[in-house]
Amino acid sequence: MVGDVKKAGELAREEVEKAKAITQGLTDAGEGFSKVAAGSKDISEKAQVTKDGADEFMKGAESIASGAEESAGGAEQASKAVAEQNKAFSEMQSACTELGELSDSLKNATDTQKSAEEVAAAAEELSANIEEATSASQQIMAAIDQITKAASMQKETADESEIVGAELGKASDEMNTKSSEILTQIDALKEQLATNKTAIDTMIANIDTAAQASIKSAGNIKLLDEKTNNINKIVDQIVNVTLQTNMLAVNGSIEAARAGEFGRGFSVVASDIRTLANDSSQNAEKIKDMVRSMQSQIITVAADIEFAATTSVQEVAKAKASTENLTLIENEVDTVQSGIKEISEAIEESSTALEQANKAVVSISEGAETTLVATDQAGKAADEGHKGMENISEAIDEIAGQADEMQNM
């Protein structure tokens, strides 16, 4: 019986030590979840920064698109102006040919007046063609200026977008790294939770076993209390026998006294018997005191064991509730893990899209730079053409003046 109680106590102590280890494991898991929460917050903050950067990137893309439309408008305007200029050049070429022929015929003409009028008319027509070509040239220069401004804006915006894209790429890489770290932490936490849950289940089973053993021991101790009551009854019987023996000894002494000299030996024996009876009575009282003390201790021990067993049963119920909470936590961890995986996949997709967008921005920047070089060359050519038109116009004006002088001769 004592061995059973001792064994139950040792088992309880072992489970207490295990409970300390489990508690430490759960504390470590709590710290791990705090790190996961901090990492998730970091990802959330970086996601907001990425969103702001993406909005800025989109504004840049819209600005680039606007510049492209403006460039397209300038190109269309330049195309129309070039067509008009080509038409004017064609008419100018015909007029110049005609004016040359008239100038040659004017040298040998007999009717100078008429020839001069024809030269003046041809010069006037050529002057009108030059005005058209000059107007077209001005339109071309305006279109080139528009294209240049749009290309400059595209180049500037593309360069800014490239910087923003690089920052977004860096933030995306950091989020991807953080997501991987969190997923690794979650895997470790899930394993730790599973280990703790198994340990708790084992501990619950052992505590329940110890509690049942304690309840059984308490029952056995109560039986011991009943047995000590039987000892009390036996002691009472001994006391009764002692009392009767003592009375017999007294009676023996009385009879020995009556017998006189012949009863002296019997008197000694009766005295010894009475002494033994008194000793037995005293020892019986001591035994009863010891039994009463044992009964008191037995009642206290039984109550303590029963209380410990009842408390253990209650703690088992609480522990079972804790395992249910652990199951809920595991489900929540699975949900968080799925969310982090989705975020990681989204980050991967956005990184790919961002990489493509950055390549497009670089291409736009290079194209805008090429356009700037081309428009600069076209602007110089248009300016030279415009100056050439002015020189031709001055020459035509001189020819027209000479024709007027010949008409007035």
- pLDDT in the model for residue 335: 80
pLDDT higher than threshold 70 for residue 336: yes
- pLDDT in the model for residue 376: 67
Report residue 122's pLDDT band, with 50, 70 and 90 as the boundaries.
Answer: low
pLDDT higher than threshold 70 for residue 274: yes
Written in H, E and C, the secondary structure of 282-317 is HHHHHHHHHHHHHHHHHHHHHHHHHHHHHHHHHHHH
Tens of pLDDT, residue by residue over 167-198, are 777 777 777 777 788 778 778 877 877 777 77
Q: Averaged over 94-98, what is the pLDDT?
A: 63
pLDDT higher than threshold 70 for residue 109: no
Higher pLDDT, 151 or 407: 151
Would you give the end-to-end CA distance of the chain in angstroms? Answer: 157
DSSP 2-52: HHHHHHHHHHHHHHHHHHHHHHHHHHHHHHHHHHHHHHHHHHHHHHHHHHH
Domain that holds residue 250: 2-407
| Residue whose pair of structure tokens reads 């490239």 in the numeric block | 162
Percent of the chain with pLDDT over 70: 53
- pLDDT in the model for residue 347: 72
CATH number at residue 102: 1.10.287.950
- pLDDT in the model for residue 229: 76
- pLDDT in the model for residue 8: 59
| Helix pair angle (112-259, 264-407), 10° resolution | 180
Count of structural domains within the chain: 1
Q: Averaged over 141-169, what is the pLDDT?
A: 72
* Inter-CA distances, 186 with 36, 181, 200, 327, 377, Å: 7, 9, 20, 15, 62
d(CA 105, CA 88): 25
Higher pLDDT, 38 or 140: 38
- pLDDT in the model for residue 90: 62
Neighbours of 162 (CB within 10 A): 18
DSSP 365-401: HHHHHHHHHHHHHHHHHHHHHHHHHHHHHHHHHHHHH
- pLDDT in the model for residue 367: 66
- pLDDT in the model for residue 374: 66
Q: Which of 226-230, 301-305, 345-349, 387-391 has the lowest mean pLDDT?
A: 387-391
Q: Averaged over 109-129, what is the pLDDT?
A: 62
pLDDT higher than threshold 70 for residue 338: yes
pLDDT higher than threshold 70 for residue 120: no
d(CA 187, CA 338): 12
Higher pLDDT, 401 or 155: 155
pLDDT higher than threshold 60 for residue 334: yes
Percent helix, strand and coil across the chain, each to the nearest 5? 100, 0, 0
pLDDT higher than threshold 70 for residue 32: yes
Q: Averaged over 261-274, what is the pLDDT?
A: 71
- pLDDT in the model for residue 394: 64
Higher pLDDT, 49 or 96: 49
- pLDDT in the model for residue 233: 79
Length of the chain: 409
- pLDDT in the model for residue 67: 63
d(CA 279, CA 233): 19
Give the contacts of 355 (CB within 8 A, at least 6 positions apart). Answer: 169
Report residue 406's pLDDT band, with 50, 70 and 90 as the boundaries.
Answer: low
Kindly tell me the burial class for residue 128, based on how many C-beta atoms sit within 10 Å of its own C-beta (0-12, 13-18, 19 or more).
Answer: middle
Kindly tell me the burial class for residue 28, based on how many C-beta atoms sit within 10 Å of its own C-beta (0-12, 13-18, 19 or more).
Answer: middle
Q: Are 337 and 186 in contact (CB under 8 A)?
A: yes
- pLDDT in the model for residue 108: 56
Q: Which of 130-139, 226-235, 311-320 holds the top average pLDDT?
A: 226-235
Q: Residue 110: what are its φ and ψ, rounded to 5°?
A: -90, -30
- pLDDT in the model for residue 278: 76
DSSP 145-160: HHHHHHHHHHHHHHHH
pLDDT higher than threshold 60 for residue 408: no
Report residue 242's pLDDT band, with 50, 70 and 90 as the boundaries.
Answer: confident
- pLDDT in the model for residue 96: 62
- pLDDT in the model for residue 88: 60
